[in-house]
Every structure is written in structure tokens, then in C-alpha cells.
Amino acid sequence: MNKVLNSSFYFLLLLSLVWISCDSPPHQERGKVLLLCDDYHINNWYQYKDSFIKYDIPVSFFVSHFHQMDAPAIAKLHQLEKSGHEIAYHTLNHIQEGDGVEIELGSYLRTEIDSGFQLMRRAGFNPHVFAFPGDHSKEAWRDSLRSRFPIVRAGSFGYFEYWERRRSFSLQADKPDSFWCYDIGLNSRFTEDDNMLMMLEDVSEGKNIALLFHSFDDSSTPYTTPAETFFALIREFKRDGAEFMTVSGFYNSRKDMLHYADKLRLPKNE
């Protein structure tokens, strides 16, 4: 008798499991998470190389001030690239227009774009992505940049703006010119006001997001990000099944969104 009851119990259990799995909503594909890191804090970035490996997260490092880097710093950049990170370009001197400073396109292209880009190529890097310093991006300069880089990052959303615009936000915010990529700044206060939860929710709903930081530091200065809260966010994304990609990796997986720049067809070190 017990045997009959037991087998009926297992049969009903099996039936209910089948029923539950049939009734589940279709699997929602998670959005991609792109990690972007700007400027020249190579020693700081390098300190966290094992954590990046531990969590299996590729970072796109946007480098400025390449002409001021010594050989050990350049070697560290190569090490980061070898371990799966992307080395991207972020101008030579990080000059921004505004506050009385006006920049003429010709000299900007010569110094800030081409000379630094060539220096990086001579050192063995081949950046495919460019990011304007700060929010300094000019529509009128778009064609000049298009001929040089397949992907240009323009515009950051602070977390308050993200909160306002999150429903319309994506990496290709200004379609059809999808070669502009937008990012959300992760500064020292990014965990306030449930911003982490909003980002997790958006990615679990299939939205792609790019997160920008500059260096890890527990102080509350504007352009620093506390490592502990950053990696706590990474763990949450991982737990939720989000996939991490470099900026180039993301756009290369979506050829329709990728613009092909002329310059990259030139031989290396040209």
C-alpha cells in the first residue's frame, strides 16, 4: 500500500513540475553589460587585474595622456589587453571646449586625435573605439571621427539623469546613427537611491548598459568608484546571468550597428 502511495506521490510531483515548467514565461534574454574605464590611472586599474579575472569581466580602457606614460605603465596596458581587456583611445591631453576655451577642428584632429593615436599604434595598440573627454562631443566633428574610428562614445548619463531617462536609454540611443554609444557614470555615489537595483532590473529586462568609471578609491571624490560596491554590483549582475562584453565585442557582434572606419584598413604603424 505504501509503495502505491509513494509512486502516486512521485507521479504527481513529476506532473506538477512539468506543468510549472510549461507555464513559465519564455526565457527573457539578459541585456549586455559593458564596463568602461577612462583616462590614465593605469597603476590603479592594474591593481584590480586579478579581480577582473576572478569575475570574468572584460573592461574597455579609454586611455588619454599616452605620451606621458613610461615603459612600465605601457607594459601594464599590454598585460591588461592580453588578459582580455580592450585598449581604446581618449585623446592625447583630454582637452575640453567650454569655459572660454575654443578648439579648432584641424589642430584638434592633428594633436588630440591623430598624433596620440599614432603613438599608441607604434607602441603596439590598435584602438577601435574613441571617447570624447567629458561631455565634449560635437555633431560637426562627427564625419572626421567616423573616418577614423568605427565606434565613438559620446555623452554620459549621470545616475540622476539615468533615473529620468532609463526607459528610453540604450547603447544606440540616437538611432539610426548608432555609432554613438552612451554610458552611465559610476561615481562614488552610484549606489544611492537604488540605482544599483534599477540597473539590475533594466539588464534583466534585456536592456544593454554601459557603465563608466575612472579609478577605484574609497574616498568620495567625484570621479572615483568604491571597489567594494562596484564588485558587489558585478556579483549581482553575474548572479542574474548578465553577459559582460568589451565595447568592440558588443558592436562586432552586431555588425548592423557597426560603422567601418577607413583608417583601420591602413597597415599597422602606418
Residues interacting with Zn ion, by CB under 5 A? 38-39, 133
Instruction: Please state the closest distance from residue 206 (CB atom) to Zn ion, in A.
Output: 29
Distance CA 70, CA 37 (A): 20
Residue whose CB is less far from Zn ion, 187 or 204: 187
Residue whose CB is less far from Zn ion, 39 or 112: 39
Residue whose CB is less far from Zn ion, 187 or 252: 187
In residues, how long is the chain? Answer: 270
Rg (CA), the chain: 22
Grouping H, G, I as helix, E, B as strand and the rest as coil, residue 82 is helix
Instruction: Please state the closest distance from residue 214 (CB atom) to Zn ion, in A.
Output: 7
Residue whose CB is less far from Zn ion, 133 or 150: 133
Instruction: Please state the closest distance from residue 138 (CB atom) to Zn ion, in A.
Output: 16
Instruction: Please state the closest distance from residue 24 (CB atom) to Zn ion, in A.
Output: 44
Taking residue 228's Cβ as centre, other Cβ atoms within 10 Å add up to 11
Query: What residue spans of the chain are helical by DSSP H?
Result: 2-23, 42-47, 49-54, 71-82, 105-107, 116-122, 142-146, 159-165, 195-204, 227-239, 247-252
Exposed e or buried b for every residue in 95-128, given b needs 16+ CB within 10 A? eeeeeeeebeeeebbeebbeebbeebbebebebb
Residue whose CB is less far from Zn ion, 62 or 230: 62
Residue whose CB is less far from Zn ion, 222 or 241: 222
Contact between residue 115 and residue 58 where contact means Cβ atoms under 8 Å apart? no
Q: Grid coordinates 582637452 are at which residue?
A: 95
Residue whose CB is less far from Zn ion, 96 or 204: 96
What is the number of the residue whose Cβ is closest to Zn ion? 38
Contact between residue 208 and residue 32 where contact means Cβ atoms under 8 Å apart? yes
Instruction: Please state the closest distance from residue 71 (CB atom) to Zn ion, in A.
Output: 23
Name the residue among 169, 140, 134 with its Cα closest to residue 155.
Answer: 134
Instruction: Please state the closest distance from residue 122 (CB atom) to Zn ion, in A.
Output: 22
Distance CA 170, CA 114 (A): 29
Instruction: Please state the closest distance from residue 59 (CB atom) to Zn ion, in A.
Output: 15
Beta strands in 91-220 (DSSP E): 129-131, 151-157, 180-185, 209-213, 215-216
